[in-house]
Structure 1
Amino acid sequence: MASRSLFLSLRRRSSNCSLSRLLSSGAASTEYVDEYLNNSETDDLKSRIFRLRLPKRSATTVIEKWVGEGNRVSISDLRRISKELRKSQRFKHALEISEWVVTHEEYKLSDSDYAIRIDLMTKVFGIDAAERYFEDLPPTAKTSETYTALLHCYAAAKLTEKAEELFERIKGLALSISALTYNEIMTLYMSIGQVEKVYLVVEELKRHKVAPDIFTYNLWISSCAAALNIDQVKRILDEMRCDSSCNDGWVRYISLVTVYVNASHLSNAESSSPIETEKRITQREWITYDFLVMLYAGLGNKDKIDQIWKSLRMTKQKMTSRNYICISSSYLILGHSKEVGEVIDQWKQSNTADFDISTCNRILTAFTEVGLTEKAHDLHLLLIQKSCSPTSKKSYIGV
């Protein structure tokens, strides 16, 4: 222990001496040294970059300093750090890492590197900069990934005309296109309310023999739900069951969507009933939000579910049991029992929707049937705590 203490003391003393020489020589800026002094016990490239709290500080300077000290850095390390920076919305620093890689010819950029760079350019400098960067790429770098990355930027900004033009351009090229490209244009149509165009994209995807993924099906289902076409939703679910790509995740998704559809109580008469014009959000938008919540639950994105739930509670539209079930079961899937209890309380106290225990029982049954017995058990206990008296079944309580 004594030898370890002596080692740490000498290490700190050596570090301080090095920093003193660095300051006196003017080799680094004061703001960088301030960051370097923090958390000196953890000293690797990732830690140094993440200690750059302010966007104006340069990740490039940190990398150059790291390499200048004789440390090696691999492109896989830089990709990993960039990914974590993007998750933390530190887009400028992530772009600076990309810039540094580009200026060092010993590193070879992959198609994904170029695609990520386009997305970062959009976030930091805007779409115009991303467009110029894309157009200046060498022909070998203009792949399905980079085209799709630019399409994603257009779709996110709801630039419909540009997105459609690019989509047509992509289809005219000899590129191997995956479902992701089609999903981007479908997402755009959903976001701008042109849900009727989603099916046209699905038809085109099938005509070109591109395999749909779970997100393709989710967008297709969402468009049908937004159009109150519940019968079509059921047909899509049947198609998913027959898809050779269907896996355990798909099976769970199909089961949960089936529950939401069965809980919606939407009949043809209800579908044709007029929507009150003074409502700020229509019934078809409600259903779209329900499926968006399901999508975000599948992605594990609680923040997005929180945002949607907050927005829906602030509208004048009457909530139904379907809305409450969608939110509560999504929170339950993500393991947030406290939020599930809060949703149940709001549901019970609501003057605009009757609390329907039978739908809760269907959720319990569905969760059990798809193997989520622990989640079913948690919901069962919550319902008992809220004096909801759910149907008692052995499979719910694990006995």
Structure 2
Amino acid sequence: MACRSLFFALRRNSSYIYQPQPCFLKGASNLSRFSSSGAVNSDVAIEEETHSSVAEDGDDLRSRIMRLRLPKRSATNIIQKWVLEGNTITASELRDISKDLRRSQRFKHALEISEWMVAHDEYQLSDSDYAVRIDLMTKVFGIDAAERYFEGLPLAAKTTETYTALLHSYAGAKLIEKAEELYQRIKDSNLSFDALTYNELMTLYVSVGQLEKVPLVVEELKQQKVAPDIFTYNLWISSCAATFNVDEVRRILGEMSHGAGSDESWTRYLNLANIYVKVGHLDNAASNTLVEAEKRISQRQWITYDFLIILYAGLGNKDKIDQIWKSLRMTNQKMISRNYICVVSSYLMLGHTKEVGEVIDQWKQSTASDFDMLACERIMAAFTDIGLGEIANNLNMVLIDKNLNPGNN
């Protein structure tokens, strides 16, 4: 379960997530069932009842749809009523509302907006519209429906985005055979694909524990002269670290350092991954005690979580770090010093010293892992070594504030 939620989280934050995260279908006929149900009149009634509060919330189409909290309510009816009132709505406005609904996980309403666009010829669907529709169909009606929808698309609509959307659906459901068959069709299609498509297959292999297949996908990606992105590298490094192949991890990090990606996210990720490998003593993992060996499977999962945290730290996404760290602390698996080192370093890199102090307290109180003052000193030394002395000093100040001044130990 841990690995599964991890890689779903990763996909939701890859560039593919129609912010983010592709969705799915089970038959357009079922959707019309929602629209033709008794919910129509109920929706209008609710709209009338809440009309008095519209002035406060804003009387626009987005506000009206966002007030439909229950899935059984119909967004289609709200759009229809809006049009009957003499208002117009553009495709870009509908796409923006759909994006907000997906962010709120209101997939049925988002799919109804897609249905509206399909049913009205004045809206010309883009490649992204088709891909989002596949994603929404999967979420609302299931993968079989999404698959049928994709197969029924005209050839011109079977694009990079729609192929990748269906691959995402297969990967999310861990349908290895179907994913591999579709991947072969993708390779035979003569379309141009970017790293995202390969990342989907890599995510699937890591989530099902077929780590040995990840480098093969990377090799194919490079043969096609596709540039790996930060997600590609994170999946690749994570798969190697999970098998304690630290030499390969270091080689990949070296490749990243000479790669084309040199923006702030890329640099942050590289620095954190190097610190984690060095300070977390990954290279000693293979020679750990028998007790540690008995935890090997769970530790493999923990390492992949560590690299997900490193990824989000590289991307500057503190909210995701917060969510992952909270979920990890709620599990019954035992954390070790390496896991604390990862999250402390990530918060430090982003300048969140308050959260660093909270993690230090959690580490001290942990019954599974004794607080390691030497590890904190190694973290400070590692940041100093790469020219980030100010960040090292931030940790030192946190430790002093908690009466843990390294100089007194």
Which TM-score bucket, shorter chain as reference?
0.7 to 0.9
CA distance in 2 between counterparts of 1:106 and 1:291 reads 46
Identity of aligned residues (%): 62
Deviations 1:107-150 (A, max 9, x none): 11111111111101111111111111111111110001100000
Matches within 5 A, 1:157-172: 157-172=173-188
Change (3 A) 1:237 1:328: same
| Cα deviation, residue 315, structure 1 | 3.2
| Cα deviation, residue 97, structure 1 | 1.0
The farther-off stretch of 358-367 and 252-261 is 358-367
Correspondence for 2:257:
241
User: If you compute each CA radius of gyration, which structure gives the higher value, 1 or 2?
Assistant: 1
Deviations 1:28-84 (A, max 9, x none): 731332243433331111111111111111111111222222222111111111111
Contact 2:268 2:349 in 1 (8 A): no
Matches within 5 A, 1:1-399: 29-41=44-56, 42-267=58-283, 270-271=286-287, 279=295, 281-299=297-315, 300=317, 302=319, 305-307=322-324, 309-311=326-328, 314-317=331-334, 319-332=335-348, 337-364=353-380, 378-390=394-406
Change (3 A) 1:28 1:167: closer
Partner SS state of residue 294, structure 1: helix
| Cα deviation, residue 374, structure 1 | 7.4
| Cα deviation, residue 249, structure 1 | 1.5
Question: Structure 1 stretches of 5 or more lacking a match?
Answer: 1-25, 393-399
The farther-off stretch of 26-35 and 100-109 is 26-35
Contact 1:252 1:370 in 2 (8 A): no
- How many equivalent residue pairs? 366
| Cα deviation, residue 302, structure 1 | 3.1
RMSD between aligned alpha carbons? 2.8
Partner SS state of residue 153, structure 2: coil
Q: Which has the higher contact order (CA 8 A, sep 6+)?
A: 2
Contact 1:302 1:334 in 2 (8 A): no
CA distance in 2 between counterparts of 1:194 and 1:237 reads 22
Change (3 A) 1:191 1:50: same
The farther-off stretch of 98-107 and 37-46 is 37-46
The farther-off stretch of 284-293 and 48-57 is 284-293
Deviations 1:156-209 (A, max 9, x none): 111111111111111111100111000000000111111111011111111121
Q: TM-score, normalised by structure 2?
A: 0.81
Partner SS state of residue 112, structure 1: helix
Q: TM-score, normalised by structure 1?
A: 0.83
Contact 1:182 1:205 in 2 (8 A): yes
Correspondence for 1:20:
none
CA distance in 2 between counterparts of 1:269 and 1:359 reads 16
Question: Structure 2 stretches of 5 or more lacking a match?
Answer: 1-40
